Amino acid sequence: MDRQMDKIFLYGMKADTLIGVYDWERERKQTLILDLEISVPERTGTSDNIGDTIHYGEVCEVVRRSLAEQDFLLLETLAEHIAQLILNDFGAAKVRVRIVKPGILPDVAQVGIEIERTRE
């Protein structure tokens, strides 16, 4: 029988990091837009205790700090990094990470990636 899961989300979160494979992309940090969906056990809504859930303010702070301190070539690697960070550091059961790299291609509104990972 499947456990029911609720989710918290952060949509439109901005974070700066050095990302890209081209030299011109690596000259300065770029602002990415992240959408995160993090599954939490259903019971978190019944206790009214922050310790029984995942503190989304802390998630935001940890993700931004991690991206500011590192650099990546590929969005795929960056998305995997964020997913593992949330699964491992916050004990999430499941996470969906969507990253948009705005303004990178002419006449393309959004370029990005979306992944979903589950804790094993």
- Does the annotation count 94 as an active-site position? no
16 Cβ contact partners less than 8 Å away, ≥ 6 residues apart: 29, 30, 31, 32, 64, 67, 68
113 Cβ contact partners less than 8 Å away, ≥ 6 residues apart: 75, 76, 79, 98, 99
7, 14, 94, 101: the active-site residue = 101
CA atoms in the 13 A half-sphere facing the CB of 7: 14
Active site positions, annotated = 101
